Amino acid sequence: MARHRERARHRCTDRSGSRPIVSPHIHSNFESPAAARAVAGAPESRPQPGDHPSNVPWGEFTFSIVLVALGVLVLLDGLGQPASKSASGIGAGFFPIIMAVFLLAIAASLVVQALRGMRGEADEAEGDVDTTTTRWRQALMVVGAVLFFATALEPLGYILTNAITFFAVAYAIGARRYLRDAIVSVVLSIVIYIVFTRGLSISLPAGIFEGLF
């Protein structure tokens, strides 16, 4: 058996002695051309992202389009905010416009990558995640949380709306420490509200907490 493997690994050279060639019988000893290339020392060809542009990951493409729509809505909302009356000159639409521009840039790059057939890769912290399968349930939960934030911001106020949205998104991506997530959501929302309203003099809807902060 060992002699057979040694003969299979034997290489021949052409007359110039510079370019290795493989004996014809080598390919017959292997089940696949990839194995023959590995023995011959030739680099194994691997599929590169974008080699199959028709294989569009529809889950990632749909998510990218949703991000584009969200960026447009945030941009229009920021442009529709009243002019600043504070000494800093920063109005309520300043930060939404900045966030919308970044969101649109990221969403546009994701759309291009999806159309080229490129898929996202899981981080090391995420473990063995199958990126070829779209988790529609989690994606719809995130979209629902964003729509809830957009519709409930004025009647419920920023603090409660942001806390619920943060908690829902955390749950959608796998967080299951409910008490900790609820506390972090509420505290973070209160801190952001105070920083913007008191520190930057930017008005945010108080909702049911009118007069408490």
- Check: CB of residue 174 under 8 Å from CB of residue 135: no
Residue pointed to by tokens 């995420």? 126
| Residue 199 per-residue DSSP state | I
196 vs 176: CA distance, rounded Å: 30
How large is the average pLDDT for residues 109-122?
Answer: 80
- Quick check: 53 pLDDT over 50? no
| Residue 198 per-residue DSSP state | I
SS3 29: coil
Question: Which two tokens mark 127?
Answer: 């473990």
pLDDT band at 200 (very low <50, low <70, confident <90, very high): confident
pLDDT band at 131 (very low <50, low <70, confident <90, very high): low
How large is the average pLDDT for residues 165-174?
Answer: 90
More confident residue, 194 or 49: 194
Give ∠ CA 172-147-159 in degrees, rounded to 5: 80
- Quick check: 11 pLDDT over 60? no
Long-range CB contact pairs, 166-172, < 8 A, 24+: 168/141, 168/142, 168/144, 169/141, 169/142, 169/145, 171/141, 172/138, 172/141, 172/142, 172/145
- Check: CB of residue 108 under 8 Å from CB of residue 140: no
SS3 36: helix
137 vs 144: CA distance, rounded Å: 10
SS3 13: strand
More confident residue, 30 or 123: 123
More confident residue, 83 or 186: 186
Map out the domains of the chain as residue ranges.
2-35, 56-123, 135-213
- Quick check: 184 pLDDT over 80? yes
- % of the chain beyond a pLDDT of 70: 65
Residue 116 class from Cβ within 10 Å (0-12 exposed, 13-18 middle, 19+ buried)?
middle
- Quick check: 28 pLDDT over 80? no
- Check: CB of residue 182 under 8 Å from CB of residue 167: yes
- Quick check: 36 pLDDT over 80? no
65 vs 57: CA distance, rounded Å: 12
- Check: CB of residue 142 under 8 Å from CB of residue 172: yes
Residue-level pLDDT at 46: 45
Residue-level pLDDT at 129: 60
Q: What is the pLDDT of residues 55-98, one digit of tens each?
A: 877 777 887 888 888 889 888 888 887 777 766 667 777 788 88
Residue-level pLDDT at 56: 78
